C-alpha cells in the first residue's frame, strides 16, 4: 500500500431501488463506456448507460446499469479542478459503500487522471456520472489486481507504450485493497448476497469469473430466495395493464422494451402456461383471447400469495406486473361471463389498473383506468354541484 493510503470508514449500504428504463431521442450516441453529447433544440444527451433496444419511433431504451467496480478517466483533470484530494473527497462524502480507490496521472496528448473505485454494494452508473459529469466511465470486468495494475502501469503494463505517459509518484491508494479471491466461505457468502441483490447471472460472472463453476446452483438459490420472499407476502405493488391493438403495431415489443428482456415471462402456450416460469418479476399473457378461465385470471391478477400450476413442480408467483396483450379490445374478452356472470366480469375489470390501445398506424393511447377507457367515446359527464350552480339558466318551478 502506498504511503498516501488513507482508511475509509465503513458505512451503511444504501437502499436498493428498482431499475427503471430511460429513453433518449434516436440521435443520442450512447455506449456502455460513456456518452457523446449533441444538442438539437429541446434535447441534450448528457449521461448514460447501455442500450437495450430501439423502438419503431426512434427512441433508444436504456437501463441504468449497476456495478461494484468502475474505472474513470478525466481529461484535463487539473484544469477542471479535479485534484486527487478533491476526487477522494467527492467519493468519500457521497458514496457510503466505498471500499477502495486508487488513481494516477498521465500526460499523453492531454494531461489526464485514471481512477479505479471499488464499492461493497452495487452503485448505479448515473450516480457516478452525477458527481463526475466530465469523466469517461467504464464498468470493470477484470480482477481488482488487473485494474490496479492498469492505473499504476505495473505488471503487464510495465513494458507497454503507455508507460512513457505515466507521471512518476502520482499513484495513490485509499482504503484497503480487497483481494481477488477471499476464500471459499467468503465467496459463497458473496455469491448469496449478489443473488439476494437481484443481480443477473451475467452480472455475477462479471464480478468474479470463478462463479462459472457454480452457475448451475445460482438459479436454484435465486428460486429458493424468491419463493421464501413471496410465498407469504401480499404484493401491494401489483399492477395489471391491458394492451390491445392491431397486429404488428408493437404491443409486445413495447412491453419487452419497458423492462429487461430477461425479467419478462411471456406466456404463449396456454395449455401449460407456467412450466417455464423462473420467478420473473413481469409476466405477459400474449395473444390473449379469453385463453384461460376467468376464475383463474382473477387469481393470477390478484395481490395475494399464489402457487402457479406446473407439470413438474408448482411455483410461487413472484411477479408484481402483469400485462394482458391481445388483438381484441377489452370488451370482447369473456363474452359469456359478461352475460351470465356479471359479478366475475366486474371483478376482472377491477383488477386492471391501466388500458393501452394501439391504432392501425401504431399510435398509442394510454387510459389511466378502465373507467376512463370505457368513457373514451363520450363527450358528456356529470357536472359537480358547484358547476351546476354556475349554469346561466335555472330550472323553473311551478
C-alpha cell at 106: 498521465
29 φ/ψ angles, rounded to the nearest 5 degrees: -95, 110
C-alpha cell at 4: 498516501
8-state DSSP, 163? G
Question: What 3-state DSSP class applies to 189?
Answer: helix
Name the CATH code of domain 239-374 (choices 3.40.190.10, 3.40.50.12780, 3.40.50.300, 3.30.390.50). 3.40.50.300
Rounded-to-10 torsion of CA 82, 84, 87, 88: -160
C-alpha cell at 92: 468519500
Q: Tens place of pLDDT for every residue, the chain, 398 residues?
A: 444 455 555 444 444 444 444 444 333 333 333 333 333 333 333 333 444 344 444 444 445 778 889 999 999 999 999 999 999 999 999 999 999 999 999 988 889 999 999 998 889 899 999 999 999 999 887 788 889 999 998 888 877 766 667 888 899 999 988 877 654 555 677 778 788 777 778 778 877 777 888 788 888 888 888 888 898 889 999 999 999 999 899 999 999 999 988 889 999 999 999 999 988 999 999 999 999 999 999 999 999 999 999 998 899 999 999 999 999 999 999 999 999 999 999 999 999 999 999 998 889 999 999 999 999 876 656 667 776 777 765 555 55
Within 13 Å and on the Cβ side, how many CA atoms surround 330? 27
For residue 209, give Cα distances in angstroms to 1, 105, 125.
Answer: 26, 30, 21
What is the residue extent of each domain of the chain? 64-175, 184-230, 239-374
Question: What 3-state DSSP class applies to 253?
Answer: helix
Assigned CATH class of 64-175 = alpha beta
Alpha-carbon Rg for the chain, nearest whole angstrom, is 27
Three-state secondary structure string covering 14-35: CCCCCCCCEEECCCCCEECCEE
Q: Are strands 315-316 and 172-175 parallel, antiparallel or unpaired?
A: unpaired
| Rounded Cα–Cα distance for residues 144 and 204 (Å) | 15
C-alpha cell at 99: 471500499
Amino acid at each position: 500500500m502506498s504511503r498516501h493510503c488513507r482508511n475509509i470508514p465503513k458505512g451503511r449500504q444504501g437502499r436498493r431501488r428498482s431499475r427503471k428504463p430511460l429513453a433518449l431521442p434516436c440521435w443520442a450516441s450512447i455506449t456502455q463506456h460513456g456518452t457523446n453529447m449533441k444538442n438539437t433544440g429541446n434535447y441534450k444527451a448528457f449521461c448514460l448507460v447501455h442500450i437495450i433496444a430501439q423502438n419503431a419511433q426512434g427512441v433508444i431504451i436504456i437501463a441504468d446499469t449497476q456495478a461494484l467496480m468502475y474505472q474513470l478517466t478525466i481529461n484535463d483533470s487539473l484544469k477542471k479542478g479535479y485534484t486527487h484530494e478533491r476526487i477522494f473527497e467527492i467519493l468519500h462524502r457521497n458514496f457510503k459503500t466505498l471500499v477502495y480507490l486508487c488513481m494516477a496521472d498521465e500526460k499523453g496528448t492531454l494531461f489526464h487522471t485514471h481512477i479505479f473505485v471499488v464499492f461493497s454494494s452495487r452503485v448505479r452508473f448515473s450516480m457516478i456520472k452525477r458527481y463526475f459529469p466530465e469523466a469517461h466511465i467504464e464498468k470493470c470486468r477484470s480482477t481488482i489486481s488487473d485494474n490496479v495494475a492498469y492505473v499504476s502501469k505495473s505488471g503487464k503494463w510495465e513494458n507497454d507504450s503507455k508507460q512513457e505517459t505515466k507521471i512518476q509518484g502520482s499513484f495513490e491508494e485509499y482504503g484497503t485493497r480487497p483481494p481477488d479471491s477471499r476464500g471459499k466461505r467468503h465467496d459463497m457468502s458473496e455469491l448469496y448476497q449478489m443473488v439476494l441483490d437481484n443481480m443477473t447471472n451475467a452480472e455475477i460472472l462479471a464480478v468474479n469469473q470463478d462463479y462459472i463453476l457454480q452457475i448451475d446452483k445460482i438459479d436454484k438459490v435465486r428460486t429458493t430466495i424468491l419463493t421464501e420472499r413471496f410465498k407469504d407476502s401480499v404484493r401491494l405493488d401489483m399492477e395489471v395493464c391491458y394492451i390491445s391493438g392491431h397486429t404488428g403495431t408493437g404491443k409486445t415489443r413495447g412491453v419487452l422494451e419497458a423492462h429487461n428482456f430477461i425479467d419478462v415471462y411471456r406466456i404463449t402456450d396456454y395449455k401449460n402456461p407456467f412450466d417455464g416460469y423462473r420467478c420473473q418479476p413481469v409476466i405477459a399473457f400474449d395473444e390473449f383471447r379469453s385463453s384461460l378461465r376467468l376464475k383463474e385470471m382473477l387469481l393470477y391478477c390478484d395481490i395475494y400469495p399464489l402457487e402457479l400450476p406446473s407439470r413438474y413442480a408448482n411455483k410461487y408467483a413472484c411477479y408484481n406486473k402483469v400485462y394482458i396483450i391481445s388483438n381484441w379490445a377489452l370488451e370482447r374478452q369473456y363474452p359469456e361471463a359478461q352475460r351470465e356472470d356479471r359479478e366475475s366480469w366486474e371483478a376482472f375489470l377491477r383488477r386492471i389498473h391501466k388500458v393501452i390501445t394501439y391504432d392501425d398506424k401504431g399510435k398509442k393511447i394510454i387510459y389511466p383506468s378502465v373507467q376512463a377507457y370505457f368513457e373514451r367515446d363520450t363527450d358528456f359527464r356529470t357536472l359537480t354541484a358547484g358547476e351546476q350552480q354556475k349554469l346561466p339558466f335555472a330550472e323553473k318551478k311551478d
